[in-house]
Amino acid sequence: MDNRLFRKKNIDKMSSPENLNTFLRVTNPSMWLAFAAIVVLLIGATVWAFKGRIESTVTGLVVSSDTETTCYVSEKNVAAIKAGMTVRVGSESYSITGGSPDAIVSDLVLSDYGMQVGGFQSGEYVFALTLDRPAESGYHQCTIIIESLRPIDFLG
C-alpha cells in the first residue's frame, strides 16, 4: 500500500517552473467593489454617529408682532418644555425665556388662521411661551427641540 499524501501528478505540476510567472487571481473585481462599498458605508455611519443629531421635537405656533413674540404650545406637549430650549422658526433659532403657568383656550387668543397654522382644534387649551427676541411679524409654525442626542450616545 502506497502511503503518499499527495498524488505524483500534482507534485510534479507544483514543482514545474513553467507556471511560476502566471497571474494568480485571488479575488475578482466585483468582490473589491463590494468591499469598497462596505468601507464607504462604515465611514459614513461613523461620521454620522459622531456628527449627526437625533432630535425629539414638539410643534407649536409663533405669533409675532412689532412689540412681542409669543409661542403657543398644546397642553399635551407643555410638560416637556423648559426655559432655555431652542425654538426653530424656518431657518431662525430662538430660545424660550419663560411662559404662562395657566392654560388658555385657543379660541380666545388665536384667529382661525392662527389655529390652522398651529394645528390647534377649537376649544383646545394652549400655553403661551415667551421667546428671547422678536421674530418676523405674523403667524409661523415652529419646532421646539425637547432633546438632541448624538447617535453614538446610544451605545454608552
Could you tell me the CATH number of the domain that includes residue 80? Answer: 2.40.30.170
Q: 130 lies in which domain range?
A: 55-155
Q: Are residues 43 and 75 in the same domain?
A: no
Low-confidence ranges of the chain (pLDDT < 70): 1-3, 13-25
Q: Are residues 79 and 16 in the same domain?
A: no
How far is it, in rounded angstroms, from Cα 129 to Cα 88?
A: 14
**In angstroms, what CA-CA distances link 2 with 6, 7, 12, 15, 119?**
11, 10, 17, 21, 89
Q: Are residues 62 and 90 in the same domain?
A: yes
Task: Tell me what the pLDDT averaged over the chain comes to.
Answer: 87
pLDDT for the residue numbered 100: 84
pLDDT for the residue numbered 7: 79
Q: Are residues 36 and 67 in the same domain?
A: no
pLDDT for the residue numbered 2: 59
How far is it, in rounded angstroms, from Cα 120 to Cα 114?
A: 8
Q: Are residues 80 and 126 in the same domain?
A: yes
pLDDT for the residue numbered 55: 93
Q: Are residues 83 and 128 in the same domain?
A: yes
For the segment 1-27, what is each residue's pLDDT rounded down to a tens digit? 556 777 777 777 666 666 666 666 677
> What residue spans of 52-124 are helical by DSSP H?
106-109, 112-118
Q: Is residue 3 part of a domain?
A: no
pLDDT for the residue numbered 107: 85
pLDDT for the residue numbered 67: 80
Q: Is residue 140 part of a domain?
A: yes
Closest CA to 127 of 76, 88, 83: 76
How far is it, in rounded angstroms, from Cα 128 to Cα 109?
A: 10
